[in-house]
Structure 1
Amino acid sequence: MIKAVDLTHYYDDNPSGEKEYSLEGVNLTIREGEFVVVLGHNGSGKSTFAKHMNALLLPTGGKIYIDTIDASLPENTWEVRKRAGMVFQNPDNQMVATVVEEDVAFGPENLGVDPDDIRRRVDKSLKEVNMYEFRKHAPHLLSGGQKQRVAIAGIIAMRPKIIILDEPTAMLDPSGRQEVMKTIRQLNEEYGITIVHITHFMEEAVQGDRIVVMEEGKVIIDDTPKNVFKQVDLLHSIGLDVPQVTELAHELRLEGIKLPEGILNIEEMVEELCRLK
């Protein structure tokens, strides 16, 4: 569904005259139906990469293909956006209407969808994110998690094959983050939508099929959550955390307790501690 080939992006407005690379030779393939998490500290290139998947930015070198369409060509922008929808960090910045159902209808209207079909899409999308009962509400009266679910419904109504989420839970409380992650997992597992989820919450990262770690505009790790979080020292060296339970297991191993690497959740930790007992 997504294929980056030597993808490069730089800004040439640096006062020194030097090219400032935000992506440098990224090669990555994401298959249909995958749930891929992208990690990296601020400035690593992950948000720039996300914007290329939705044609918000065009490459200055290399190529990126979305569902076999060359997203580096300006004339393909709208075809790319029909296939890849994007959800941003701040839900308030994504609301364009004063009523929830009108906000969800905005995307399909801009795609020229038939009005009767828009009605069906809006109702179905709101039901899929469990927000149908709020369809007549004003968005500003909703909680942060509810707003973000409405934003996701607006993307679903456009019938994309891919949803790219750029730190969608960063401004939410723990309850809101849980709501949004449950919705994301449901869209992936039940409807087969390809998910690219950018986050700095490691407990969210373990829910992906794969984790891609970026550093200085390059992909430095691409593996399963268990194999990625085995590399505690490497992740710390580039300014990233690991899940708390993984950190605890790592520290216990340093103290001589024989725990396996890559423990990702409390259940695994309890099981291994009971096995030692």
Structure 2
Amino acid sequence: METKRNTDNKPIIEAVDLMHYYDDGPSGEKEYSLQGVNLSVKEGEFLVVLGHNGSGKSTFAKHMNALLLPQGGKIYIDGIDGSIQENTWEVRKRAGMVFQNPDNQMVATVVEEDVAFGPENLGVAPEEIRKRVDKALKDVQMFDFRKHAPHLLSGGQKQRVAIAGIIAMRPKIIILDEPTAMLDPSGRQEVMKTIKALNKDFGITIVHITHFMEEAVQGDRIVVMEEGKVIMDDTPRNVFSNVDLLKSIGLDVPQVTELAHELIKDGMNLTEGILNIEEMVEALCRLK
């Protein structure tokens, strides 16, 4: 059952009054993790989702990949109704998921075999799998490691292999749920470089959940979630111009953004929403 709506000029991801809850509240009442989320994502967009633990961001991500089904409302992935269980594989063909711990996604003892696992499950022909695996590993700069054992790789390399495994399935969307949380700064840079290339060079729609604000500024758009609701949805500059609001819900902002905010409070003639060191240097030079 592949109930598909007309996708002419439609977003590639569309949540309509999306609800999810657990029946384990303190008194047995429903505890909502998503409370009527309405959100659309355009094809080729790089969306960042922010929120503290328990805000609903990971629950929302799991709906995009049909790991969870809505308990109210709808979610459409490339026009496919993700609220219908029979559509699960159709959704997953279109939207691949990369998790926080790459070791949890490793299923084989050789890198290229691990990357081949997803396409094999989709019933792709062996000769096509060979082409996809080689290309996916080249796309993430891991082709030279194709015969290596995954457990011997660095954290950043493992995560790039996990991403290659998703790419080999040829999805239109890649959802990344805090993929750099367990990596050192070098590994985080490796993975972010790969994600940005997939988005800019290959046009893959990216949904990136992170708690690193320096990663968030690299998106086209940021959604902030709180108590299962979307409370902000704007460009990185506009979102990070609201330093006090973000801090009030337990979120940080990029260090340079906070520095600019404090200087403004002290009377310095700067604008809110400075996102990086280069912008700060330029703004300070203009004051001379």
- Using structure 1 for the length normalisation, give the TM-score: 0.99
Residues 168-208 of structure 1, C-alpha deviations (whole Å, 9 max, x = no match):
00000000000000000000000000000000000000000
Secondary structure at the counterpart of residue 171 of structure 2: coil
Q: Which amino acid aligns with 1:113?
A: V
Of 183, 186, 193, the match for 1:182: 193
Of 242, 246, 258, the match for 2:257: 246
Of 83, 97, 101, the match for 2:94: 83
Secondary structure at the counterpart of residue 106 of structure 1: helix
Of 144, 165, 173, the match for 1:154: 165
Q: CA deviation at 1:48?
A: 0.1
* Aligned: 1:172 with 2:183: yes
Of 125, 134, 138, the match for 1:127: 138
Residues 41-69 of structure 1, C-alpha deviations (whole Å, 9 max, x = no match):
00000000000000000011000000000
Of 185, 205, 212, the match for 1:201: 212
Q: In structure 2, what is the Cα distance between the partners aligned to 1:84 and 1:167?
A: 16
Q: In structure 2, what is the Cα distance between the partners aligned to 1:24 and 1:98?
A: 42
Match of 2:8 in 1: none
Match of 1:142 in 2: 153
* Aligned: 1:115 with 2:126: yes
* Aligned: 1:267 with 2:278: yes
Percent identity of paired positions between Structure 1 and Structure 2: 86
Pick closer, same or farther for the CA change 1:111–1:207 going to 2, 3 Å. Answer: same
Secondary structure at the counterpart of residue 57 of structure 1: coil
Q: In structure 2, what is the Cα distance between the partners aligned to 1:135 and 1:249?
A: 45
Q: CA deviation at 1:13?
A: 3.3
Q: CA deviation at 1:15?
A: 5.2
Q: Which amino acid aligns with 1:54?
A: N
CA-atom RMSD in angstroms = 0.5
The gaps in structure 2 that reach 5 residues or longer are 1-11
Q: CA deviation at 1:20?
A: 0.3
Q: In structure 1, what is the Cα distance between the partners aligned to 2:263 and 2:233?
A: 26
Q: In structure 2, what is the Cα distance between the partners aligned to 1:12 and 1:74?
A: 20
Q: In structure 2, what is the Cα distance between the partners aligned to 1:14 and 1:275?
A: 54
Match of 1:34 in 2: 45
- Using structure 2 for the length normalisation, give the TM-score: 0.96
User: Runs of 4+ in structure 1 displaced over 6 angstroms?
Assistant: none
Q: Which amino acid aligns with 1:192?
A: G
Q: In structure 1, what is the Cα distance between the partners aligned to 2:192 and 2:25?
A: 38
Match of 2:238 in 1: 227
Residues 87-112 of structure 1, C-alpha deviations (whole Å, 9 max, x = no match):
00001111000000000000000000
Match of 1:213 in 2: 224
The gaps in structure 1 that reach 5 residues or longer are none
